[in-house]
Amino acid sequence: MKIFMLSILLLSIATLINGGITSKYVRQAQPANEMSLETFPSPAGHNAPEQVHLTQGDHNGRGMIISWVTPLNLDGSNVVTYWIASNGSDIKRRKKKASTSSYKFYDYSSGFLHHATIKNLEYDTKYMYEVGTDKSVRQFSFTTPPKVGPDVPYTFGIIGDLGQTYASNETLYHYMSNPKGQTILFPGDLAYQDNHPNHDQRKWDTWGRFMEPCAAYQPIIYAAGNHEIDFVPNIGERHAFRPYIHRYHNAFKTSGSISPLWYSVRRGPAHIIVLSSYSGYGKYTPQYVWLEQELKNVNREETPWLIVMVHSPWYNSVNYHYMEGESMRVMFESWFVNSKVDLVLAGHVHAYERSERVSNIKYNITNGLSTPVKDPNAPIYITIGDGGNIEGIANSFTDPQPSYSAYRESSFGHALLEIKNKTHAQYTWHRNQDNEPVAADSLMMHNRYFFPKEEIASDCLVC
């Protein structure tokens, strides 16, 4: 009876078209108004560290990159102290010196950007760490992932195109209110500084402060989006991605990449590949050559869940940015199908959409076969550019809903991927609704390598 009532409730806000669902939910009118610069002041204290954030610092999860910013480059301000939490009186404090840089952009000068890579951490262990000097020391913590393995449970949060509006704030704190999330997968578009005159770099600073309550305690794995490009030749800024690369380091070299814009990490049961939608990916380019080898390096016996992040979606039925990811899809989709990728995450479109498992790889220039078809070896494609950014919601869908689209909705929100074991992962998308994160779409996903059975549509009504 419970399942029946839940089914009726979900179907009452959705329309079935060609087997897919277009939600009829209309989000509460709340403009995507950006929070002011004054909303996020620097922390108190002389030369206090700020904008503290984490990302994985090696390929297998035993490293962490700790990053922070200080106004001045004083002695000791580039050092992080860390230790294992709850070790009683036997606390062994270790120190690591960071690399430090700064940059100028038009009329802006950054603070001093510190990045410390700490290695050889113990798996599945809570660490405390401190940055800052004298009375301006600030303390945080993080927990390392379990050792890479096929049946290791692990939960990823998924957030994209966040920005720093009041809606963004709702999305972030909805995610933080759920204790399950351990690491965020973020498929691009962070601060939206480029929506302001001369790409106002102060917005990078306020975004770093906005994110710190989350980003200082759990790592975020980023893909670069179009709002990270910061290419403005008319004001003399001719080097794409420069502020982003200065601020958000990653361990790209540990996966054999030559660029921080494409790389991979292994975390618990997942092998995560990050690609750049805005770097060359044609045949013989560095990204193409790297990805071809990287897919061969994946060991599904150790990391059964293969996840890819891009920014521009390959399957999108919203009228915004429609088919912008098409050339990359044509280049790499057959590789993803042959490799049995489980999940592809994208942002860019400011709505939410989940695809069926489909592929469109039979086309050549003469045969006319250019229609997506169901394919059990294909990934599910998630578009999650619905974080709440200043540009607002995308609310115009193609009509009728195409057969490859399983669920779509014009709302802000975030998702969770709870990997249970090597065969099953619970996926849920949480809409920002009436100040509450409501699970509006869910599916028990089946691993393509170990359990390549079709996910039943009714699963999303009962899981």
Q: Give the CATH number of the domain where residue 330 resides.
A: 3.60.21.10
Is residue 173 in a domain?
A: yes
Predicted pLDDT at 5: 40
pLDDT digit string, tens, across residues 226-283:
999 999 999 999 999 999 999 999 999 999 999 999 999 999 999 999 999 999 999 9
| Residue 462 pLDDT grade (very low, low, confident, very high; cuts 50, 70, 90) | very low
Residues near 289 by Cβ (< 8 Å), separated by ≥ 6?
Answer: none
pLDDT digit string, tens, across residues 171-221:
999 999 999 999 999 999 999 999 999 999 999 999 999 999 999 999 999
How far is residue 3 from each of residues 274, 425, 462, measured CA to CA in Å? 38, 20, 6
> Which pTM was predicted?
0.94
Whether residue 304 is predicted with pLDDT greater than 90 in this model: the reply is: yes
The H or E element containing residue 433 is strand 424-433
Which tokens hold the place of 455? 């996910």
Q: Which of 270, 450, 431 is nearest to 343 (CA)?
A: 270
Is residue 108 in a domain?
A: no
pLDDT above 90 covers what percent of the chain?
83
Predicted pLDDT at 323: 84
Whether residue 17 is predicted with pLDDT greater than 70 in this model: the reply is: no
> How far apart, in whole angstroms, are the C-alpha atoms of residue 189 and residue 162?
7
Give the chain's mean pLDDT. Answer: 92
The H or E element containing residue 214 is helix 202-215
Is residue 95 in a domain?
A: no
Is residue 168 in a domain?
A: yes
Predicted pLDDT at 24: 80
For CA atoms 140, 223, 39, 31, the dihedral sign is negative
pLDDT above 70 covers what percent of the chain?
92
Predicted pLDDT at 29: 44
Predicted pLDDT at 459: 45
Is residue 152 in a domain?
A: yes
Long-range contacts of 335-340 (CB under 8 A, 24+ apart): 335/291, 335/292, 335/295, 336/308, 336/378, 336/379, 337/361, 337/375, 337/377, 337/378, 338/377, 339/295, 339/298, 339/306, 340/300, 340/306, 340/377, 340/448, 340/449, 340/452
Residue where the block lists tokens 């359990």: 451
pLDDT digit string, tens, across residues 47-70:
999 999 999 999 999 999 999 999
Predicted pLDDT at 219: 98
> Is-contact 108 203, C-beta < 8 A?
no
Q: Provide the annotated active-site residues.
A: 321
Q: Which of 121, 234, 215, 226 is nearest to 175 (CA)?
A: 215
How far is residue 429 from each of residues 60, 186, 362, measured CA to CA in Å? 27, 14, 31
Rounded to an integer, the average pLDDT of 291-318 is 97
Is residue 306 in a domain?
A: yes
DSSP state of 170: H
> How far apart, in whole angstroms, are the C-alpha atoms of residue 70 and residue 64?
20
DSSP state of 397: B
Is residue 236 in a domain?
A: no
Q: Given phi > 0 = left and psi -120 to 50 = alpha, else beta, which region is 238?
A: alpha
> How far apart, in whole angstroms, are the C-alpha atoms of residue 118 and residue 360?
43
Q: Report the SS3 class of residue 108.
A: strand
Is residue 355 in a domain?
A: yes
Provide the number of structural domains found in the chain: 1
**Domain membership of residue 359 as a residue range:** 148-188+261-462
Whether residue 12 is predicted with pLDDT greater than 50 in this model: the reply is: no
